[in-house]
Amino acid sequence: MRTIEWDPKGTVKMIDQRKLPLEFVVVEFDDYRDVARAIRDMYIRGAPAIGAAAAYAMALAAGQSGATTSESLLADLRTAADVLGATRPTAVNLFWALNRMLRAAQGSQAPDVKGMVADLIEEAKQIAEEDIEINRRMGAYGAALVEDGDNILTHCNAGALATVDYGTALAVIRTAHEQAKRIHVWVDETRPRLQGARLTAWELMNEGIPMTLIADNVAGHLMRTGKVDIIFVGSDRTAANGDVANKIGTYKLAVLAKENGIPFYPVVPTSTIDLSVPTGDDIPIEERSAREVTHPGGCQVAPDGVQVLNVAFDVTPHRYVTGIVTENGIAYPPFTRSLRQMVEA
């Protein structure tokens, strides 16, 4: 099934990614506040998937509203948007989807509130369908960069689980594999939540794509010894100048790639490009619970009372980025010009 989808009975279903790879569990919500909790607690994660979840949550909020006028429905939707917007500050797709749903409500030509609710459900479904098509287009553009026999390195999970379906960075890998290119993927475990070990490895193994799981600290050794040909990662927000905010640990990969002459490509839908943010220094960086570091998988590995900094994302300056793969093509430096062209396309 898809990572997230709308059930005809008026609920939202999603894979509980906290349970993978040991259990495949689908959870179901009929309250937008529960979807907000699911986003915050990482039942669902990955910028495009968070955007779809936010859109579906707004559709739930419309159905829950009980409003009798368009004005009161809009007021309830703005309240829901505030609740949802407080869940994950770095992923711009969250705010992109919320704003799109609010615009859809404001622009609805439905004669009554019931019709407005139906319009919002259709808008959320459209966002999900567009995500799948965008991912396949990015996969095609990115796969053109992959040579037969390449060893590819990826970080975190930018696969189907990070989107509605197919993925961003993993869309490139999937497409190259479908093209019968003989590829091999190095998968960073991605501490502290181990999205690479738990999710990316699970996806690639299910599809029979050759891969090897590595500890995060192994990546530099592989680059120095000539065992990495190209790197593809995702992005949670990309600034107008090409600075890329992605899962913590991405920046050091990009620096090492530059040192070792390895191409480094974020794979980024245009909904993740934030032209209102001039540089990566302007991107809010989420900090998460200390327990993710001290108790990975629920197992305590650090002393009681230890001080912890758990930064969820870092920013890779654009000087380390070879190019940025989008659904409208590949952007190359200068990014201030090429990214705008991709968004406007």
Point out the residues that are catalytic.
236
Q: Is the dihedral of CA 104, 110, 112, 118 positive or negative?
A: negative
Give the C-alpha separation, 30 to 57, whole Å.
Answer: 9
And the tokens for 150? 């390449």
For 149, phi then psi, to 5°, come to 95, 0
Pairing of β 4-7 and β 11-15: antiparallel
Please tell me the distance from the alpha carbon of residue 326 to that of residue 341, in angstroms, as a whole number: 11
| CA–CA distance, 233 with 138 (Å, rounded to integer) | 12
Place of tokens 């979807």: 35
State how beta strands 329-331 and 324-326 pair. antiparallel
User: For residue 101, what are the contacts with CB-CB under 8 A and spacing of at least 6?
Assistant: 54, 55, 58, 59, 77, 81, 120, 123, 124
Q: Which stretch of DSSP H or E encloses residue 337?
A: helix 335-344
Distance CA 235, CA 315 (A): 10
Gyration radius (Cα) of the chain, Å: 20
Q: In what order do the strands lie in the sheet with 273-274?
A: 273-274, 237-239, 244-247, 313-316
